[in-house]
Structure formats: C-alpha cells, structure tokens
Amino acid sequence: MHHDTYLNWVLTNTKTTWWHDSADTGELAYALEHGATGVTCNPYLSNLVIAKERPKGDKEIEAVIAKGLPAEQKAEELMRIAVTRCARMLQPEYERSKGERGYVCAQVNPSRTGDRKAMLEMARRFHSWAPNITVKLPGTAAGLDVEEECIAEGISTTITVSFTVPQVLAAAERHQKGLARAKAKGVKPVKCFPVIMIGRLDDYLREVANDNDPSITETDIRWAGLACTKRAYQIYREKGYEAKLLVAALRGPYHLTELAGGDMIMSIAPGPQVWFIKDDQPRKTGIDNPIPADSLARLQKLPEFVKAYEPNGMSPKDFVGYGVTQRTLSFFVETGWKLLEGHK
C-alpha cells in the first residue's frame, strides 16, 4: 500500500482497520488495493452480486439454479458463490496474517432468527466453505446461544443485527465462554466480531426523537451511535475481551474520524470509501474524544437511547424486539434472502 489517503494514514498510524462492505469482486479488488483486510457480506449484498453476474451468463450461478433446489437451499447455494469468491481473494491475507485477518462474512437465513438448531446447522455448513469464513449470526438471545456453540466448536462468528452496548457486551461474554469450552476440548481458539450498525441506530433514534421529543437535534442524533460505540469500546478495554468490535453502516465521515485510533474494524461500503480515499480528513485520532455533555443529556431523555447506551439497558430476551432489530431483520429478509430464493 503506497496510497497517500486518509485510510492509509489510519492503517499506518493507529490500530483501526477496515473491511470492505460489498460482495462485488471488482469493488473488492479496489478495496484491497487500499488496505481492506476483510469483507462484510449479507443476503442483500449477496443478491446484488448474483443479480449483476447472472445476466452475463455466469455458469456457476446457472448450475445452481438448474438444480431445482428447495427455495432456502437455493438461496444458501447462491450466497455460497458470492461469499466464496470473496473468500478466495482474501485467502492470501488470511494466510499471511496467520488467521488474524482476511475474513469474509456468511450470514445465516434471517428468517430463522429464533431457530437455534437451524442456525447452528447453517453455521457448520458455512464454516466448511472456506477456512476464512466468519459466520454471521443475529444479536438476539438465540443468536448468542448459537454463537457460544460455534466458538466452542472452532467456528468464527460475526454478530450482526446488533446496534447497542448490551448486545455487543453479551456477544463478547459469550465469546469468552465459548473460548473456555474450546480450550477445554483442545479446539483452536477463533475470532468473534460483534457489530455495531452505527448508522442504523442513528436512523432509528432520529425517528423516535422526531415522534417523541423535538428538542433532540440532528447534531444530537449524530452523536448517538458514536456514544454507544465509544462506551462499548471503553468497556471492552476494561474487561479485556478478546472479541473485536466491527462498526458498520456509516452515515458520514464523522463515524470513522471520531472512532479512528480505536482497536476496532470499520466496515466501509464502496460509496463511503470515497470519503476516505479520494477526499481527505483531519489526520488525527478521535476515539478518546468525549461526547458533548449537552447532547448526551438530551439523548438520555429518550428511553430508546438509554436501552442502547446503558450496559444493562436491555437483557438478551429484549434484543429481538428492539425496534431497529426488527426493521433490519425485515430488510435482510425482504431485500436479500427472499430475492435469492426467488431466482428461477
């Protein structure tokens, strides 16, 4: 990497790294040139690639569709194509770093969010696709149970549909439990990447604030996800968790510049990559910058923010019913998995 970009500065001078948020291999090639060391993928992004490549006469895609598989199995096989193509491109990074970097996410069927048995079986299948797969599970009570089982079996996990301090703390705790079980069985320890979908939390809280408390400004909302992420990161450091936070769904350059310097991963989509590759940003760390006290005070009047910000704001059984959890699960089902099932 010899690019004089803000991202190159971040990678060279801080512990912050970044993953490419797209399953398009052409876009991934560009991201790898600029220092990306992983790929976040989901059913929506997988379907975008399948829908783009199929009209070009992609033989691998057509072979899956020609099998006449049941809908769920067909979706899984199509997603496998998108994910494993990325995994092959990341394999050199995975090998070079001895398994520290170079991962690609494969997300379980979001329609199965409460089905522990189905999610665990999917996780085992996805794990067999490539050595550098990290299985994406939902940040719900069932997903966390499956996470611990996966870690105990030596299957790396990424905890998605996750937006809040209590969710990422629960994920880190279950990772530690799974690691202890793995060690007792002589299983090699594996990674866990709990996600904070920072922009999706902001989007949700903006709607809640507009509906409930007009005194909360747009500036306040922009601090909401950052406040949760900084708090979670601080607790991770205090407790010495081995899981690594993965921040996704950026809505502006501030989401990276305010977190730069933290030992975490930023998931950056092709559009926002422009903010950090072609545009420039102030070359300084932001992770230790405090949240403005007045904004935090106003946000704390909003019960939905308190649920997200306080370490005990929700218990795992509450996660699935949190507003933005339901919204995001629906998005993954309707704009991703169902469309993968629908290819004929």
Averages of pLDDT over each 10 residues, the chain, 344 residues: 85 97 98 97 98 97 98 98 98 98 98 98 98 98 98 98 99 98 98 98 98 95 98 98 98 98 98 96 97 98 98 98 98 98 96
- Entry pTM: 0.98
Listed in sequence order, the residues at least 6 apart from 65 whose beta carbon sits closer than 8 Å to its beta carbon are 74, 78, 343, 344
Region of 36 on the Ramachandran plot (φ > 0 left; ψ -120 to 50 alpha; else beta): beta
Residue 2's pLDDT is what?
56
Looking at the chain, the number of H-run helices and the number of E-run strands are 17, 8
The pair phi, psi for residue 283, each rounded to 5°, is: -90, 75
Whole-number Å distance between alpha carbons of 151 and 163: 21
Q: Which two tokens stand for residue 131?
A: 């050595």
Residue 113's pLDDT is what?
97
- All domains of the chain, ordered by start, with CATH? 6-335 (3.20.20.70)
Residue 122's pLDDT is what?
98
CA distances for 337 relative to 46, 114, 189, angstroms: 9, 16, 30
Listed in sequence order, the residues at least 6 apart from 331 whose beta carbon sits closer than 8 Å to its beta carbon are 44
Whole-number Å distance between alpha carbons of 266 and 256: 7
Q: Which two tokens stand for residue 38?
A: 């992983």
The tokens 């009047």 sit on which residue? 301
Q: Which two tokens stand for residue 280?
A: 């420039």
The tokens 């866990």 sit on which residue? 192
Residue 3's pLDDT is what?
74
Residue 125's pLDDT is what?
98
Whole-number Å distance between alpha carbons of 38 and 31: 9
Which own/partner pairs from 310-317 qualify as long-range (CB within 8 Å, at least 24 positions apart)? 310/165, 310/166, 311/165, 311/166, 311/169, 311/231, 311/235, 312/166, 313/164, 313/165, 313/166, 314/164, 314/166, 314/167, 315/166, 316/140, 316/141, 316/144, 316/166, 316/170, 317/141
